[in-house]
Structure 1
Amino acid sequence: MLFKSFVSASAVALALFASAPSFAADVYKLEPTHTSVTFQWTHFGFSHPSGKFMNAVGQVTLDEANPAKSSVEVSFAIDGMNTGVPALDTHLKGPEFFDAAKYPTATFKSTKVEPTGADTAKVTGDLTIHGVTKPVTLTVKLNKKAPHPMMKKDDAGFSATGQIKRSDFGIGAYVPNVSDEIDLFIEAESIKQ
């Protein structure tokens, strides 16, 4: 009788465990051809040029049960910068600015995710550029999370904005004529692993 009760209780426990929803966080890998980091500055007050990185690699961990436990890790090679002006690219990659030969990679690793709405959050993390690490907060919007119609895998797309001071990272040449403040515009798609 005791054995029969144990078997019945075990069967009930297994059935409950099997039917319980999974609350594990999902890992999404950045899809580089649809992920861009655009940076924009002011040039002597006359114009607002921009540059772009299309070579980001990394992952987003989405925890739907507890969004504050979500995270992101991204890196990109400075050598992949493109302003549309080859001479400017060479200048920006040189020792006066990014010094890509000495500091070839930029990274961002989140330290805090603060949900601000059903599909928005403030994401704070450590940004490392030019060998200097500083905290940065991005305003992030989840654009869509659904099966990708072509890849047949779950896709999550995001837009994010933020601002940094380049002098904070030791890249202060020509301030204030060339603005210290750099606006960031990030678009990302990520594929569930």
Structure 2
Amino acid sequence: MKQLLSFLFIAFLSITTFAQTTWKADPSHTQLSFGITHLGISEVEGRFNEFEGSITASEEDFSDAQYNIVIQVPSIDTGVERRDNHLRSADFFDAEKYPEMTFKSTSSTKVGDGKYHVTGDLTFNGITKTITLEVVHRGTIENPQNGKIISGFAFSGNVKRSDYNLGPNFPEAVLSQDVLIDVDGEFIKQ
């Protein structure tokens, strides 16, 4: 009987040790933003309003996390309707032909306390390229209003416009090659 209890206890520990937890982005507390330099003198910022994101990890410190984000390109919002419509056109995102942008991580390397380099495939405009994002885990808490467990994350990185055929008719003097990616949000434990 002792052996059976010992075996069950070890089996339980093994299952809980290797159990993966999924965290879903809370759209009310998550922003997917970008910025690009216009005419070399100012930054135009925008965001995508419709998206889904998840993080799956078995380690409490997220050192083995896998990240997956699906963005609805037509939800682009720079605060100027005419510019947004132009960005949705074939000159830029070609949102009718390519309505989704995706990021799926392939590796995550811990580089400090709560800091990671996350590499993965970013796909939009019919093109997939490997990029690396800097990710900061800001902490995990229990929301006092509803009792849900939430974790805060910040993601940042750069992509080159030319890598994705984004606005190829606009020279760098008009729009910078570098586009800053900035994601800040809360993920709810499922």
Normalization by structure 1: what TM-score?
Answer: 0.90
Please name the residue that 2:40 is paired with: 45
- Pick the structure with more strand per residue: 2
Please name the residue that 1:9 is paired with: 3
Matches of 2:2 and 2:113 in 1, distance apart?
42
Matches of 1:15 and 1:112 in 2, distance apart?
32
The reply to whether residue 185 of structure 1 matches residue 182 of structure 2 is yes
Structure 2 contact 52–69 (Cα < 8 Å) conserved: yes
Please name the residue that 1:3 is paired with: none
Seen in structure 2, the aligned counterparts of structure 1 residues 15 and 165 have a Cα distance that, compared at 3 Å, is closer
Please name the residue that 2:98 is paired with: 103
Seen in structure 2, the aligned counterparts of structure 1 residues 62 and 45 have a Cα distance that, compared at 3 Å, is same
Matches of 2:13 and 2:64 in 1, distance apart?
24
Matches of 1:67 and 1:58 in 2, distance apart?
15
1:10-89 aligned within 5 A: 10-18=4-12, 22-23=16-17, 24-64=19-59, 67-89=62-84
Please name the residue that 1:4 is paired with: none
What's the offset of the Cα at 1:180?
A: 1.1
Matches of 2:141 and 2:99 in 1, distance apart?
35
Structure 2 contact 104–120 (Cα < 8 Å) conserved: yes
What's the offset of the Cα at 1:53?
A: 1.1
What's the offset of the Cα at 1:9?
A: 1.6
Task: Give aligned-pair identity as a percent.
Answer: 33
Q: Please identify the structure whose Cα radius of gyration is greater.
A: 1
Structure 1 contact 106–129 (Cα < 8 Å) conserved: yes
Q: Which amino acid in structure 2 is aligned with residue 186 of structure 1?
A: V
RMSD of aligned residue pairs (Cα, Å):
1.7
1:118-129 aligned within 5 A: 118-129=113-124
What's the offset of the Cα at 1:131?
A: 0.8
Matches of 1:108 and 1:131 in 2, distance apart?
13
Counterpart of 1:12 in 2: which secondary structure?
Answer: helix
Counterpart of 1:137 in 2: which secondary structure?
Answer: strand
Bigger shift: residues 104-113 or 139-148: 139-148
What's the offset of the Cα at 1:83?
A: 0.1
What's the offset of the Cα at 1:121?
A: 0.2
1:124-143 aligned within 5 A: 124-143=119-138
Seen in structure 2, the aligned counterparts of structure 1 residues 15 and 108 have a Cα distance that, compared at 3 Å, is closer
Please name the residue that 2:172 is paired with: 176
Unpaired segments of 5 or more residues in structure 2? none
The reply to whether residue 151 of structure 1 matches residue 146 of structure 2 is yes
Matches of 1:99 and 1:19 in 2, distance apart?
50
What's the offset of the Cα at 1:155?
A: 0.4
Seen in structure 2, the aligned counterparts of structure 1 residues 125 and 16 have a Cα distance that, compared at 3 Å, is closer
What's the offset of the Cα at 1:11?
A: 2.5
Structure 1 contact 26–192 (Cα < 8 Å) conserved: yes
What's the offset of the Cα at 1:18?
A: 4.3
